[in-house]
Amino acid sequence: MDQTKFDQTKVDAAFLKLDAHKTRLQNTRMRDQFAGDPTRFGLFSVSCGDLLLDYSKNRIDTPVMTSLFDLAHAAGVESKRDAMWAGEHINFTEDRAVQHMALRYQGDSEVVVDGLDVMPDIRRVLAAMKIFVGDVRAGEITGHSGQAFTDIVNIGIGGSDLGPAMVTAALVPYTRADLRLHYVSNVDGAHMADTLKGLDPARTMFIIASKTFTTDETMTNAASAREWLVNSLGDDAVQDHFAALSTNIPACKAFGISEARIFGFWDWVGGRYSVWSAIGLPIALAIGFDNFEQFLAGAGEMDIHFRDTPLEKNLPTIMALLGVWYRNVWGFSTQAILPYDQRMNRFAAYLQQQDMESNGKSVTAENKSVSGATGPIIWGESGTNGQHAFYQLIHQGTDIIPCDFLLAVNPHEMMGQHHAKLAANCFAQSEALMLGKTLEQVLAELDIAGMDEDRAKQLAPHKVFSGNRPSNTLLYSKLDPKTLGKLIALYEHKVFVQGAIWNINSFDQWGVELGKQLAKDLLPNVLDKAGAATHDSSTEGLLAAFKTRQI
């Protein structure tokens, strides 16, 4: 890959400047910055249409942001972004282009990958999906015995599961009660067994979602689903009850899936970026094709924003730079994703794959070890539940955890004060993290409460909040399909910018291979097959203990 766009000397110089800013700001408190500048919110907030990013509650000032933007320029973020859009093989270890943006492109121009305009193929698959979705939802495509489908089970894992499962849950208000979507990913038979419990084979459709159509978990689950169906409806029913989403069309056919039920995509769509492709079919079945198109359009809007907006006003870039500031300069190793939306409770899990599979890397584009930290640990849970679990550590623990709060202004359900309380809690948390509470404040409170001085002195340190803890807040009108598309694309591009700054390949995932390979090697040991390999003493000990406990 052409790395001339990444200027190591300038990147190093930008990091040195940022180190100096950190030293300068070490004793600066955000609460004083807010008190000293009533325009701080306006200065450090930015919008993309209806989506507002407030990043004013961060350990920053204008010189910090200037140096962060200098870093982005030095790392060649803009030229790398352009290279991605131009279809260059920026996934250089797999020698592939990265063009998931084409899947949600709303314009009329060509999008060329490897010398070919990919838009006609994309539109062809979308058109086929639209017909299929319409017919299933209308009960015109039925099961083998002529009954309309009521339950659809998506079988996939990683990118072939997390995106559709998260989006379906997030968009429940757009789904129909008489067409239920289920997601089976884990090779643990419990996942399939629990899902199938209560389902009627005659009214159940299976979608096998796998880019490669070789992933062991998915193939194992697909075989069990097939057996369950065949046991009840016979072999002939398979083609009426199975569909496939894959780049590996011959393997789908070999499984027995009819050509009309195979929806393809392409190798320039990474697994964790595939929710926009045919992998999104279960979403379209759940929310209807028009809503699915809105979902794509929202992501398309974010693409235009990311591609055309100067870095200084560019949401994904700003979020990425703040992440780099904390990860590399302050040494904060995790990032919490905290949507104040119960239906977004799989969003953090989705972003774990998107971010950690992308940027959990240690080797640069020049095949050298990276010199600093790369991808943070992503975790989180929806509010307010998390407040009663792990927020204690976020407020008073020894680690500083930058947080992203997400909140829709308008709920789907108007139920008394529920949403007002949800919003108040969301705003309260970022305010509390920023402000903290000093020892003097605590002592004054205890005094007013009438506590005697000795007891107050003992208790007070436990009630102090150090504050100055950073967060972003993303605010949007409503969690509709378009907004969700926009939010996901925002995080995708954030991850891209961080990968560009760390000079790593954000689009491969070699780190998942060793475990897969060893699991294959270990299966004969677990099954007690002759000729199975020997292992280290711990693994052998575990295998022996496993066998002695088998009932």
Question: CB-wise, 510 or 546, nearer to ligand F6P?
Answer: 510
DSSP class of residue 325? I
Question: CB-wise, 20 or 519, nearer to ligand F6P?
Answer: 519
- Those residues whose C-beta lies under 8 Å from the C-beta of residue 503, and which sit 6 or more positions away, are 3, 6, 11, 75, 364, 365, 366, 370
| Cβ atoms within 10 Å of 370's Cβ, excluding its own | 13
183 vs 162: CA distance, rounded Å = 9
> Which of 176, 250, 188 lies closest to 213, judged by CA?
250
Report the nearest approach of ligand F6P to the CB of residue 512 (Å). Answer: 4
Mapping DSSP to helix (H, G, I), strand (E, B) and coil, where does residue 14 land? helix
Single out the catalytic residue among 253, 368, 516, 520. Answer: 516
490 vs 320: CA distance, rounded Å = 10
239 vs 143: CA distance, rounded Å = 9
- What would the DSSP string read from start to end of 182-209? EEE--SSHHHHHHHHTT--GGGEEEEEE
Question: CB-wise, 210 or 328, nearer to ligand F6P?
Answer: 210
Report the nearest approach of ligand F6P to the CB of residue 216 (Å). Answer: 9
Question: CB-wise, 149 or 265, nearer to ligand F6P?
Answer: 265
Report the nearest approach of ligand F6P to the CB of residue 158 (Å). Answer: 3
The phi and psi torsions of 378 (rounded to 5 degrees) equal -100, 135
- 3-state SS of 219-243 is HHHHHHHHHHHHHHHCHHHHHHHEE
Question: CB-wise, 159 or 300, nearer to ligand F6P?
Answer: 159
Report the nearest approach of ligand F6P to the CB of residue 129 (Å). Answer: 17
- What would the DSSP string read from start to end of 409-438? SS-SS--TTHHHHHHHHHHHHHHHHHH-B-
Mapping DSSP to helix (H, G, I), strand (E, B) and coil, where does residue 311 land? helix
> Which of 219, 192, 195 lies closest to 208, judged by CA?
219
Question: CB-wise, 272 or 482, nearer to ligand F6P?
Answer: 272
412 assigned to active site: no
388 assigned to active site: yes
Helix, strand, coil shares of the chain, percent, nearest 5, are 55, 10, 30
Provide the sign of the torsion angle of the four alpha carbons 530, 536, 540, 542, taken in this order. Answer: negative
Q: Which residues in 279-363 belong to E strands, given as ranges?
A: 334-339
Question: CB-wise, 6 or 213, nearer to ligand F6P?
Answer: 213
Report the nearest approach of ligand F6P to the CB of residue 189 (Å). Answer: 18
Single out the catalytic residue among 388, 413, 462, 529. Answer: 388
Report the nearest approach of ligand F6P to the CB of residue 164 (Å). Answer: 11
Report the nearest approach of ligand F6P to the CB of residue 357 (Å). Answer: 6
431 assigned to active site: no
Residues engaged in binding ligand F6P (CB under 6 A): 157-160, 210-212, 215, 218, 271-272, 357, 509, 512
Report the nearest approach of ligand F6P to the CB of residue 160 (Å). Answer: 4
- What would the DSSP string read from start to end of 78-113? HHHHHHHHTT---BTTTTB---GGGGG--SSS--EE
Question: CB-wise, 210 or 382, nearer to ligand F6P?
Answer: 210
Single out the catalytic residue among 357, 419, 493, 494. Answer: 357
Question: CB-wise, 186 or 385, nearer to ligand F6P?
Answer: 186
Report the nearest approach of ligand F6P to the CB of residue 518 (Å). Answer: 14
Question: CB-wise, 160 or 472, nearer to ligand F6P?
Answer: 160
CB 218 within 8 A of CB 157: yes
CB 551 within 8 A of CB 541: no
> Which of 274, 220, 264 lies closest to 243, judged by CA?
264
CB 477 within 8 A of CB 410: yes
83 vs 384: CA distance, rounded Å = 41
Report the nearest approach of ligand F6P to the CB of residue 460 (Å). Answer: 49
77 vs 494: CA distance, rounded Å = 11
Q: What is the CA radius of gyration of the chain?
A: 26
| CA end-to-end distance (rounded Å), the chain | 55
Amino acid at 304: I
- Counting Cβ atoms within 10 Å, is residue 305 exposed (0-12), middle (13-18) or buried (19+)? buried
**Residues annotated catalytic, as ranges:** 357, 388, 516
